[in-house]
Structure 1
């Protein structure tokens, strides 16, 4: 077999392949055998019809077509391997010449990963937020903990800010009660902002048994985004009583003996959270700088597929679970369809760029993934998906997604390498020495804006293999 590669553009090539006819022998034999099992010819037992009879009765062209269809994927794969290409998606194959007993010629156009040049990234500098925890931050955290331990006592008076009211709700749109528009015995803290806009003003001043009607825009369900007439009836008013902020409260709400120890622990936790946020921010900003340094051609078909996948996942998974249509979602977000399309395209481009660049770094730096790293990553992914590690691992194996997870871990290590080489300063001008935490690094790579869907559509796939969605 002979093959040649013509570069059509940085992300698309045309393979021209010439196959000597003798290399079709195995496929021709298989074609005759297959047709033999499918046809019945008088005078011959099933499966024992000679090849010449099949040619006479059904035509040599039928056999050739079956043989070529069987052999093409193998010839294409051999040509791709010989040319050391990394194809993206399925090829467009055109048989240019087929002469019985002589030759088979065909071309295959396919999108490929572009060749990238990764420049020196050691000079990258980024600025991140400083880790600062104020006394007010600590007091707020302690106050939130205090509110979790609040008790309530029913009172016979009008409802006030901070009270917990038990209410019945009924929502109407265009004068009709919605199917999911009735709720009874709902507990609501006035001023929490956890229910509908306007409900605080409606229930304040009402005693048990009182009711009011107000208009509010629904936040969920089939009528999300529409104005509804809401009738609210108060069935009970209860005053909230917060525990005293003292050592007894610290012992009640934590493992600490004193309030000061509780506050010190709250400060430590806040600092840890801000350090994690700082590390994540550093990863995101270093990645943005890295992408600016590398010119990345984007395969057009891959981009179209990526955009289509993102829209499908949003509309049929995320929004469907909330009972929203895409139009309603855009209305709530205050975006036009054109703005949404632009944002989706930009996110898709960034996702593809991110994966291409980090994969190139993985190859350049010869970064490997060991079993321990893969297991830790699988545990994190299982936790974020709400599945047990065993369930998640089984799903990954069944869907042939192990290479996808390996790629995610490797890209996380590549990003960590760039972050380690970069200069990271906080807003106070202090150089930040980020700890080499592989868990955080890997998670940062996964969560980098737009990178996840691209992994599904632009991942490392075998030649001629269908892409899979994660």
Structure 2
């Protein structure tokens, strides 16, 4: 076999391959054998039909077609290996010549990983937020803990902000009650923003046994995005009472004996969290600085496929689980379809550039992934997926995703090398030591840069989902399409 490589552009090549006919013999033999098992010829036992009879009855062309289809993948792979190429996706193959008994010739156009030059990255400098925990930060953390231990007491008065009301809801669109627009016995804290827009104003000032009607745009359900007339009946009002901030509360809410010890522990935890956030910020900024140093041509088809995959995952998995379609999501985000597509394309391009650059660094620095490193990464991925390590490992193996995980770890190690060589200072001008944080977080930073973003947990859609989950956990019935 002879092969030649023609570079069409930095990310695409054309292979020209010529195969002597004798190299097709194994595939020809296999073709005759396969046809033998599929056809019946009077006077011959199945599987014992001579080749000349098959040629006469079914045509030599059918045999050649079967043989070529069988042989092409091997010859293409041999040509790729001979050309030392890194193909991306499937090739476009064109048979240019097929002479029986003489020669098979074909061309194959395919996208390839571009050859990259990684410049000196030791001069990268980035600035990150300083790790500072204020008394106000500690106060807020303790207040959040205190809020979790609040108790409720039924009251016979009008509901006010902060009260917990038990309500029944009924939503109508165009005068018709929605099948999924009725909910009873829903517990709601006024001012929490966990249900429909306008509900706080509707229930404030109502006593048990009172009702009101308001208009709101539904965030989910069968009439998502439509204006609904919602009737709310208040069946009970309860005041929330917070425990006193004293040593007794510290003993109730933690393993500490005094409030001072609880506050000290809260400060320590906040500092640890901010250190982790600082390290993640440093990794992201160093990665961005590295990408700016390298010219990375991207195959257009690869980029289009990546954009389509991200869009499909968002529409059919992430948003689907939240009972929302793309139009509703864009409305909540305040984006046009064109703006969304442009952002998605930009994110997809960054993900591809990240992989190309860090993969090149893996090769340049001769980095490898040990079994222990792979296991640790698998454990972290399993935890974030909500699966047990055994379940996640089984899914990875059955899905043939082990190389993907190895690549994530390797790219994380490559980024760690760059972060270690970079100068990282905080906003106070102090040099930040990231040695303890690099190894744990770089794989996750790379993964985040390479994946499509999930809807943010702070947006209205996610808040509506969280409210539904809370209702389900407490045994409350129905959803209002909120």
TM (norm. structure 2) is 0.92
- 1:94 paired residue number: 94
> For the residues of structure 1 that align with 2:129 and 2:229, how far apart are their CA atoms?
44
CA distance in structure 2 between the aligned counterparts of 1:23 and 1:178, rounded to whole angstroms: 69
Preserved contact between residue 315 and residue 326 of structure 1 (Cα < 8 Å): yes
The question of 1:396 aligning with 2:361 is answered no
Residue-by-residue CA offset, 1:57-100 (whole Å, 9 max, x unaligned):
11111111110100000000011011110100100001101111
| 2:238 paired residue number | 238
| RMSD (Å) for aligned C-alpha atoms | 1.2
Report the Cα offset of residue 237 of structure 1: 0.6
Aligned to 2:464: none
2:261 matched residue in structure 1: 261
**Could you list the per-position Cα deviations for residues 217-255 of structure 1 after superposition, in whole angstroms to 9, with x for gaps in the alignment?**
222223233222111111111111111111010000000
Matched, 1:315 2:337: no
Structure 1 contact 225–332 (Cα < 8 Å) conserved: no
Tell me which residue corresponds to 1:61. 61
Give me the whole-angstrom Cα distance separating, in 1, the residues matched to 2:265 and 2:73.
62
Does the 8 A contact of 1:221 with 1:322 survive in 2? no
* 8 A Cα contact 1:202 1:214, kept in partner: yes
Counterparts of residues 435-450 of structure 1 (less than 5 Å): 435-437=435-437, 438-448=439-449
Is 1:17 the counterpart of 2:17? The answer is yes
**Structure 2 counterparts to residues 161-176 of structure 1, below 5 A:** 161-176=161-176
Alpha-carbon distance between aligned partners in 2 of 1:16 and 1:47, rounded to the nearest angstrom = 37
Partner of 1:459: none
Contact 1:3/1:16 (CA < 8 Å) preserved in 2? yes
* Alignment match, 1:332: 332
1:124-165 residue CA offsets vs partner (Å, 9 max, x unmatched)? 111111111111110111011011101111011111121111
Shift of 1:215: 1.3
Residue 275 of structure 2 is aligned to residue 278 of structure 1 = no
Residues 121 and 422 of structure 1 are in contact (CA less than 8 Å); yes or no, is this contact kept in structure 2?
A: yes
Q: How does 1:33-48 map to 2 (within 5 A)?
A: 33-48=33-48
Distance in 2 separating the partners of 1:452 and 1:369: 21
Contact 2:347 2:452 (8 Å CA) reproduced:
no
Cα distance in 1, alignment partners of residues 442 and 451 from structure 2: 15
Measure, in 2, the Cα distance between the counterparts of 1:59 and 1:436: 70
| Counterpart Cα distance in 1 of 2:122 and 2:432 | 15
Aligned-residue offset at 1:453: 5.7
Cα deviation digits, residues 319-341 of structure 1 (max 9, x gap): 22222222222222221111111
Match of residue 228 from structure 1 = 228
- Residues 170 and 177 in structure 2, CA contact (< 8 A), matched pair in contact too: yes
Determine if the alignment matches structure 1 residue 304 to structure 2 residue 304. yes
Aligned equivalents of 1:418 and 1:190: distance in 2? 49
Q: Match of 1:462?
A: none
Mapping of 1:319-398 within 5 angstroms? 319-398=319-398
Moved beyond 4 Å, runs of 4+: none
What runs of 5+ residues in structure 1 fail to find an aligned partner? 455-470
Secondary structure of the equivalent of 2:264? helix
Q: Aligned partners of 1:388 and 1:290: how far apart in 2? A: 35
Aligned residues of 1:306 and 1:453 also touching (Cα < 8 A): no
Would you say the 8 A contact 1:162–1:190 is kept in 2? Answer: yes
Q: Secondary structure at the match of 2:158?
A: coil
Match of 2:451 in 1: 452
Does the CA contact (< 8 Å) of 2:214 and 2:229 recur in 1? yes
| TM-score using structure 1 length | 0.94
Matches within 5 A, 1:204-215: 204-215=204-215
Q: Which segment drifts farther, 122-131 or 212-221?
A: 212-221
SS state of the match for residue 435, structure 2? Answer: coil
Cα distance between partner residues in 1 of 2:271 and 2:52: 82
Separation (CA, whole Å) in 2 of partners of 1:252 and 1:436: 34
Structure 2 residues without counterparts, runs of 5 or longer: 454-482
Q: Are the counterparts in 2 of residues 222 and 324 from structure 1 also a CA contact under 8 Å?
A: no
Alpha-carbon distance between aligned partners in 2 of 1:405 and 1:158, rounded to the nearest angstrom: 57
C-alpha distance in structure 2 between counterparts of 1:453 and 1:230, whole Å:
36
User: What is aligned with 2:458?
Assistant: none
Partner SS for 1:425: strand
SS across alignment from 1:93 = strand
Match of 2:5 in 1: 5
String of CA shifts for 1:396-427, please: whole Å, max 9, x gaps.
11111100000001011111111111111111
State the alpha-carbon separation in 2 of the partners of residues 241 and 192 from structure 1.
Answer: 16
Distance 2:138 2:20 in 1: 78
Contact between 1:145 and 1:253, CA under 8 Å: does it hold in 2? yes
Give the whole-Å Cα distance in 1 for the aligned partners of 2:332 and 2:263. 40
SS at structure 2 position matched to 1:417: helix
Distance 1:8 1:385 in 2: 42
